[in-house]
């Protein structure tokens, strides 16, 4: 059974960084890319970027360039999202999701709420 299990909620101060993990179960981790999607409270879905779980190559949305880093550990089947220089409007649920190259995102993690508050 395919599952993506994310780390728990975080509260961070403005200017800090946050690192969210996403552990994959039930499939060959390196066959799929991991994408990250943000959803601010009451708002829509916003694509942040993706990492090639096999080779580690990344592609980030322009909006997040310079603030976001996506990494993975193939020995543990875990992907990571790190977002720096946090602002109040970064408060959101962050989702990881898997996607086979050429196909759609087909499974999602449960989401991780990151709250930016002083």
Partner 1 sequence: DIQMTQSPSTLSASVGDRVTITCRASQTVSTWLAWYQQKPGKAPKLLIYQASTLESGVPTRFSGSGYGTEFTLTISSLQPDDFATYYCQQYNSHTFGQGTKLEIK
Closest separation between CB of residue 36 and partner 1, Å?
10
Closest separation between CB of residue 111 and partner 1, Å?
6
Closest separation between CB of residue 41 and partner 1, Å?
11
**Minimum CB distance to partner 1 smaller for 2 or for 11:** 2
36 contacts: CB under 8 Å, gap ≥ 6: 47, 48, 49, 50, 68, 70, 81, 94, 95, 96, 97
**Minimum CB distance to partner 1 smaller for 13 or for 42:** 42
Pairing of strands 112-116, 10-12: parallel
In this structure, is the dihedral angle defined by the CA atoms of residues 52, 10, 112 and 3, taken in order, positive or negative?
positive
For the beta carbon of residue 47, count every other beta carbon within 10 angstroms: 15
**Minimum CB distance to partner 1 smaller for 27 or for 108:** 108
Interacting residue ranges for partner 1, rule: CB under 8 A: 35, 37, 44-47, 50, 61-62, 95, 97, 99, 103-111
Pairing of strands 68-73, 78-83: antiparallel
Closest separation between CB of residue 108 and partner 1, Å?
4
**Minimum CB distance to partner 1 smaller for 42 or for 118:** 42
């Amino acid at each position: 059974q395919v599952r993506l299990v994310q780390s728990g909620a975080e509260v961070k101060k403005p200017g800090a960084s946050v690192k969210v993990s996403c552990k994959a179960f039930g499939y060959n981790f390196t066959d799929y890319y991991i994408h990250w999607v943000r959803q601010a409270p009451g708002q829509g879905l916003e694509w942040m970027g993706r990492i090639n779980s096999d080779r580690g190559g990344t592609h980030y949305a322009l909006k997040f360039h310079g603030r976001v880093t996506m990494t993975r550990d193939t020995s543990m089947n875990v992907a990571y999202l790190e977002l720096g220089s946090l602002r109040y409007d970064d408060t959101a649920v962050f989702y990881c999701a898997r996607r086979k190259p050429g196909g759609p995102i087909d499974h999602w993690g449960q989401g991780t709420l990151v709250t930016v508050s002083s």
